[in-house]
Amino acid sequence: MKYIFNIFMINKKKDQILGSRRFSNYWWATITFIGGISFFLTGLSSYVKLELLPFTNSIDILFIPQGVIMVFYGTLAISLSIFLWLTIIWNVGAGYNEFNNDSGVITIFRVGFPGKNRSLLLEYRIKDIQAIKIDIKDGLTTKREMYLKTKDDREIPLTRVGQPLRLSEIEKQATELAKFLGVVLEGID
């Protein structure tokens, strides 16, 4: 029974893609919110001449120009943190890549922002895939991405957004996927 299950799993491969629910997004949403509230309350304290933040002396700050600028920056930071929290709640970017040799179909699914086109579902036939392509650029902004390259020269990204994968890890994943799909691997010298 176990042997039959393993044969079934060999013909189907599914990779989960982590969306916005990463530690770094939680971290930046929280830090931005705390900073924004602090700036906003400091600017507001300078206007109403009432201490709204404990352990500070913001009454002595002139409302014009410092208080106005602090309220403005606080409002921007709070707005940005709300946007970050909403992307975390909606889990934008999450999904999966499914490669099914039995049906000959590759399914790429991603979750987007709420609205008419919230879900992105792309399906390709395996026979339309020309290669698995790796794009590696080291330097100040490291780029290590893996693409499905179709016969009509379209490149569909497969790697998740976030920290770049180690070179050995992306090469291993690309090699395994190319063998699984029976296509060539491009981009490795």
Domain of residue 125, CATH code: 2.30.29
Q: Domain total for the chain?
A: 2
Domain of 51 in residue numbering reads as 24-90
The pLDDT of residue 4: 42
Distances (CA, A) of 94 to 17, 88, 141, 148: 5, 10, 23, 18
Q: Evaluate if residue 70 carries a pLDDT over 90.
A: yes
> With the C-alpha atoms ordered 54, 56, 60, 66, is the resulting torsion angle positive or negative?
negative
Highest mean pLDDT among 41-55, 59-73, 83-97, 172-186: 83-97
Reference 63, options 48, 50, 84; nearest CA is 48
Average pLDDT over residues 3-7: 43
DSSP letter for 128, please. Answer: G
| Confidence (pTM) | 0.78
Using N-to-C axis directions, what is the helix angle for 23-48 and 68-90, rounded to 10°? 150
Separation between Cα atoms, residue 55 and residue 131, nearest integer Å:
61
- 126 and 69 in a common domain: no
Say whether 29 sits in a helix, a strand or coil: helix
Average pLDDT over residues 43-72: 87
| Mean pLDDT over the full length of the chain | 86
How does residue 49 score in pLDDT terms, banded at 50, 70 and 90? confident
Would residue 154 count as lying in a domain?
yes
